[in-house]
Amino acid sequence: MYEVRFHGRGGQGAVMAAQALAEAAVIEDKYAIAFPFFGAERRGAPVLAFTRIHDQKIYSRTQVYTPDCVVVLDDTLLDTVDITHGIKENGIAVINSTKKPEEIELGRKIRTAAVEATSIALELLKAPITNTAILGAFSRATGIVGIDSVEKAIMSRFGEKLGEVAGRKNAGAARMAYDRTETGMSSGGKEHAIRKQWLPEYRELPVGGVLGARTTDAGLIGPGSFIENKTGEWATFRPVRDRNRCTMCLACWFDCPEGCIIRIDNGKDLRTDYGYCKGCGICANECPVDAITMMRL
């Protein structure tokens, strides 16, 4: 049995990647299952997805705890999550990164494949959606599924959803990533500030689970805890507003789904709180005078 854990963020398509990988394995006459684990369902929150591949029918329905491979769609996750956690001794990490494997610092020194999936996606798909490109890298680095099967699986899953042209472009992204993947050893020893979780015993839970703001050994919880929990730290793009063009029509302020555009100076000016900006680009899209440009980070 071969087990894969995908690390991504909500909206990046980790779940679709896990499913397409399962389909590629099935194309090669194997048995496979793929499933998501969602935390809070919102764009930008860390997301896990899993794929299991085997020669025979798979019965295990638990999450994957000791993966043979971890796939990382977003290297901003490397700072907060130890993606090597539980990985088998001879396991491999497949990471979307602009760095060479040797330059990537992980919790442990392990076999690592790196590919610039975001650049490939921007070039071919015009969007930083890296879930198809990364599968090409997976195929190259592990040989568990062939690139032809990956392309077929992408055509089938993505083509069905987005149309044939988009399906072919996504398959092309996988092929390009396959060609550009570099494999080596990561460096190890990266320290992760272990994000503690508040896990009280049942008698310590407040009555009715009704929670006021409080500080625990896991930090702030309850109302106001997002003061510490910066949800914008994963953004690929950042909106930059040209003050000279801006007419202060407030369309961006109204439409930002994160509420992170703030009126300042008695409503005469705007400020974007990048701590919570996801870089979704809605503000730039909605601005009637094109005063906002999205800058690649």
Partner 1 sequence: MKKVITGDHSVAYGAKLARAEVVAAYPITPQTLIVEHIAEFVSDGEMDAKFMPMESEHSVMSATIAAQAAGARTFTATASQGLAFMHEMLYVAAPLRLPIVMVNVNRTIAYPVGIWCEYNDSMAERDSGWLQVYIENNQEALDMVIQGYMIAEDRRVLLPVMPCMDGFVLSHTVEPVELPAQEDVDVFLPGYEPVYSLDPDNPAVAGSFMPPEYIMEMRRQTMDAVEASKKVIPEVGKKFASRFGRDYGGLVEEIGTEGADVVLMTMGTVTSTAREVIAEFRGRVGLVKLRFYRPFPSDEIRDLGSRFRAIGVFDRSLSYTGGGPVFEEVKAALYGYSDIPVINHLAGLGGRDVTAQEIRKMCELTLRAADGERVSRVNWHATRGVPV
Residues in touch with partner 1 (CB under 8 A): 39-40, 197, 199-203, 205-213, 222-224
Q: Are strands 261-264 and 111-115 parallel, antiparallel or unpaired?
A: unpaired
| Residue 258 in contact with ligand SF4, rule: CB under 6 A | yes
Nearer to ligand SF4, 1 or 289 (CB): 289
Nearer to ligand SF4, 47 or 261 (CB): 261
Residues 6+ apart with CB under 8 A from 258: 231, 232, 276, 277, 278, 280
Nearer to ligand SF4, 82 or 286 (CB): 286
* Closest among 234, 238, 233, 279 to 73, alpha carbons compared: 234
- Rounded-to-integer distance, Cα 284 and Cα 239, Å: 7
Q: Which stretch binds ligand SF4 (CB under 6 A): 33-41, 105-113, 154-162, 252-260?
A: 252-260
> Shortest gap between Cβ of 37 and partner 1 (angstroms)?
10
Give the angle 218-221-227 at the CA atoms, nearest 5°. Answer: 100
Give how many residues touch ligand SF4 by CB under 6 A: 26
| Residue 252 in contact with ligand SF4, rule: CB under 6 A | yes
* Cβ burial, residue 219 (10 Å; 0-12/13-18/19+): middle
Angle between helices 164-180 and 133-142 (to 10 degrees): 40
> Shortest gap between Cβ of 40 and ligand SF4 (angstroms)?
17
C-alpha distances (whole Å) from 78 to each of 75, 126, 174 are: 5, 24, 22
- Rounded-to-integer distance, Cα 207 and Cα 226, Å: 23
| Residue 67 in contact with ligand SF4, rule: CB under 6 A | no
- How many residues in total does the chain contain? 297
Angle between helices 117-125 and 133-142 (to 10 degrees): 140
> Shortest gap between Cβ of 135 and partner 1 (angstroms)?
28
* Residues 87, 106 contacting (CB under 8 angstroms): no
Q: Could you say which residues in the range 169-198 bind ligand SF4, by CB under 6 A?
A: none
> Shortest gap between Cβ of 13 and partner 1 (angstroms)?
22
* Candidate list 151, 280, 295, 297; residue touching ligand SF4; CB under 6 A: 280
* Candidate list 239, 263, 271, 297; residue touching ligand SF4; CB under 6 A: 239
Nearer to partner 1, 189 or 209 (CB): 209
* Candidate list 4, 92, 176, 251; residue touching ligand SF4; CB under 6 A: 251
Nearer to ligand SF4, 40 or 185 (CB): 40
